[in-house]
Structure formats: C-alpha cells, structure tokens
Amino acid sequence: MMNVFVYGTLKQGGMYHAYLKGAKLIEKDALASGTLYDTGFGYPAMTAGEDGTVAGEVYEVPDELWAGLDEVEDCTGSPDDLYEKITAEVKSPSGSHQAVIYVAKKENLLRQRIENGIWINR
C-alpha cells in the first residue's frame, strides 16, 4: 500500500471521489509544496516546487485501486498523458507523509494560478 495526495476531483465531494472507495483517509488537511492551477476543463492541475502550497487529502491506497486512479488521472504511461506521478513529502497537523502526487505533465493545463492553493469542487 502507498499513500496518495489528492487535491481536486478525487477529494471528498469531488466527482471522481468514488475511485477512492476502499482507500483509507489518513489526513483531511494536508499540504504539498507546489502551485495549483485551474485547467479550464473542470479539474485542477498542480506543479511541484517550493513556490507555494496546495491543500488536499491523503489516502492509504490498496494496490488494486492504483490502475483506476492512473486512468482517471490520465497517467497510464503514454507519451500523451496529461499527468505524471511523483512521490513527495506532504505535511499535516499530525506530521508528514510520503505520498504519490499526480502533477501536470502538459503545459496547457496550467491556465490560471489559484493563489490560495485550494480547489473547490463544483
């Protein structure tokens, strides 16, 4: 099992949260270093780095759920994927966790910076 940091449509209340059915929420208030963007397509994208923070949730994900997450995040190993996976430290009130984060692979996803780092599911 590995952890995933989710910051958009996979969060509680998000349209793809059902893909985490069977995963265990371990942090509902976590922060990752990076910058959050509105893609203009109804979902966010982030870049990793020290220039800001992105708010999200951390889940412990059983191995059998990863293929579905990769598919919904368009991270299947194709050169045309929109996202790629990195592993990074995320911080929370209870401490820090290593987690997989889906970050933007395509520049065209980075349309409008969300300054407060919080994606609100619509």
3-class SS of residue 71: helix
Please tell me the chain's helix, strand, coil percentages from 3-state DSSP, rounded to the nearest 5: 15, 50, 35
Catalytic residue, from 64, 73, 107, 115: name it: 73
Give catalytic status of residue 64 as yes or no.
no
Structure tokens at 90: 């995320």
Phi, psi of 43 (to 5 degrees): -150, 155
Q: What positions carry a catalytic annotation? A: 73
